[in-house]
Every structure is written in structure tokens, then in C-alpha cells.
Amino acid sequence: MKLAVISCIHGNFEALNAVLSDIDSQKADQIYCLGDLVGYGPHPNEVVEMIRSLDIPTCQGCWDEDIVEGLNACECSYPSQLAEKRSRLAHEWTNQVIKPEVRVALAQLPMSLRQGNLCFVHGSPNSQHEYLLPSMDGFAALERVLSTEADVLFCGHTHVPYVRELENATLKVTVHNPGQSKTQHHFTTPLKRIVNAGSVGEPRHGRPNATYVLYDTETTQVTMREVPYDYQKTCAAIIESGLPAIFAWRLARGMEFAERADDPDHVCQR
């Protein structure tokens, strides 16, 4: 079976249509979505309605959770006060335009999905807000996969696609109990993988193209797909809707804009 995994659409209806067309050309048997249907982009209702109309199994993303719960969650990850302010504006804008039935649909999304030895989440098995970056400590990354009891963990949230293979490894733990001899525990893990689908609607890999992945359940082959589309149409809609213009700027470049150097000590005020 050929699976298509998409994530982080962020209200970008043009990008979603382009990706769905590409998935159709690749003859995928099933589509999974890792959440963040809304946020940043100008068409949150249209995106949610499209995903629902196609009956695509979907996890709840951090933005989806925020709109449901009325939060402005950031997990203190904003690099500056300006970035935090922009995101708060986007939360407020999305919260104002979202339809009641769409809000209900977002509230009903599960935290994770399973198919056989595959697990699908937005951020990590721990939280929609946790980033599984490719640079994450190997032991911690392995722990995240093992906690799902799956062999392949699909995630999004970082907006940067990657495949990380965690090779066969033996973990050894020595337990010291007072008055007792040392006890050692060993276990060996088979090959595990983390597959990040990148972002359909707000890529940050240096190009404006939408990304997603294909996964063959028979061969376990992962294919990263990059899909060009009319991103300028979405950029114009962002500006026309009154969302921060910087969202259009970074969408056109496929990168996150952050003022790290100007405000390196910023602590988010949630």
C-alpha cells in the first residue's frame, strides 16, 4: 500500500490543492494528515472543509488545539517579542473567521493515529508543541519512537522534511539499590525511523514549494515530494486579509523570519 502523509497546511488552500493533485498523480492508496490545518494562512475554513470532504484521517496540530482551546500557545519557542506579537495577531484573526462547525471539527481530532507498525502525530507523542528536530539527542529521539510501540513515527511541526534512521542499538541500565547487589537491565531495539513530512502550506526548507512524503508499506521506502504551486496567489490573499505581511514574505522564500540577533534574551509572555 502506498501512503501519502501531509502536514502543516496552515490555511493555504492553493498549496493543498496542488499537493492533492500530485498525490493523485502518484496513485497513493491512503492519505494521512498530521494537523495544523489552520493558522498563518488566509483560508482556514476552506482547508478544513476540504480535508473533511475527502475523509482524510487527521491528527490535531498545535494551531488546531489553540483555536479550539482559545490559547496562544508558544511553548516559549518564539525567538523575539515581534515574532510573538505576529503570532498572537494570527491567532486572533483565525479565531475570528473560523466557522463554528469548523471549530467543532478541530476539537474532535485525535492526538495520534495508528496503522499497523506506523504512528502518526503532529509534534511528538508527548505534545503537539514538541519539536522533533533532526539534531535531537539520539537517545531522546529513540525514546519518542519506542513510547509509541511503532517502528516508524511520522511527524510534522518543524516545517522541514527529513528522514532519521535510528540504527539497531543495545541500551544498558544499571540499578543501584541500597543493601542489594547491582541489577543490570539490557534490551535491544530494531531499526526505528522518524519521518518528518515537512509543510504543505508554510515550508521552511528554503523554497516556497509544498512538501509531503510517500511511504510504501511493502518496501518501507520513503519518497520526499516537493510540489511547486502558485504561492504568489496565497501571498496576495494573506495581505488582502489583513494578516501580517511578513507571512507572505517568508512564504515566498520558504523560510522563517526571526529577529534572533536583535532580541536574543527574549522570554515569551504567554
- What distance lies between CA 231 and its chain's CA centroid? 20
Q: Where are the beta strands (DSSP E) in 217-266?
A: 222-227
| pLDDT beyond 50 at 270 | no
What are the φ and ψ backbone dihedral angles of 128, each rounded to 5 degrees? -65, -20
CA distance 38 to 97: 11
Give the 3-state secondary structure of residue 254. coil
Residues in the chain: 270
Range scoring the smallest mean pLDDT among 7-11, 105-109, 174-178: 174-178
Q: Which of 186, 191, 130 is nearest to 158 (CA)?
A: 130
Residue 86 has pLDDT above 90, yes or no: no
Sign of CA dihedral 152, 14, 71, 65: negative
| pLDDT reading at 264 higher than 90 | no
Q: What is the model's pLDDT at position 167?
A: 76
User: Whole-angstrom Cα distance, residue 152 to residue 39?
Assistant: 27
Q: State yes or no: pLDDT of 153 exceeds 80.
A: yes
Residue 148 clears pLDDT 70, i.e. is over it: yes
Q: Contact, 152 vs 165, CB < 8 A?
A: no
pTM value is 0.88
Average pLDDT over residues 141-158: 93
Closest CA to 251 of 270, 268, 267, 230: 230
- How does the average pLDDT of the chain come out, rounded? 88
269: pLDDT strictly greater than 90: no
Residue 73 has pLDDT above 60, yes or no: no
Give strand pairing partners of 193: 152, 165
Q: Can you give the pLDDT at residue 173?
A: 62
pLDDT (tens digit per residue) in 204-263: 989 999 999 999 999 999 999 999 999 999 999 999 999 999 999 999 999 876 554 445
Task: Indicate the burial class of 36 (C-beta count within 10 angstroms; 0-12, 13-18, 19 or more).
Answer: buried
**pLDDT for position 182:** 67
